[in-house]
Amino acid sequence: MPTVFKLVAKQNNDIFRVYDKESPMILSYNAGAIKPNPDIYKEIRGFGKVIFIDDKESYLKVGYELFGWNAILYTPLVDPAETVRSLPGHAVQLPKTEDIKVADNIGEVEEALKYFGVHLR
């Protein structure tokens, strides 16, 4: 497992608290593609409902628009100085819809998951 993933998991342990370990976790280093390339999103198949949680609107937009997934923009991880945020095509606006929620803390992630029909243990 790459060091960067271990660092993110350690620094943001609260987001993994709501993760159902029976559900798949798609990681770019395993899939051979990175977001927002649609190939990584295609790794997720065979599910009636997908709720995509990310800190980048451009990544969420692909899942929402191409695959019809629900989305949660998790803002505590947003780092405006992150290099990828300065690349062309990154600055996007997500549509205002009930299929996309913004969560400023883990409690709001839990609320959004419940709204989307996920009942946490």
Quick: pLDDT tens for 8-32: 566 666 666 666 667 666 666 677 7
Q: What is the dihedral of CA 38, 40, 44, 45, to 10 degrees?
A: 50
Q: Are strands 51-54 and 70-74 parallel, antiparallel or unpaired?
A: parallel
Residue 74 has pLDDT above 80, yes or no: yes
CA distance 92 to 30: 27
pTM comes to: 0.73
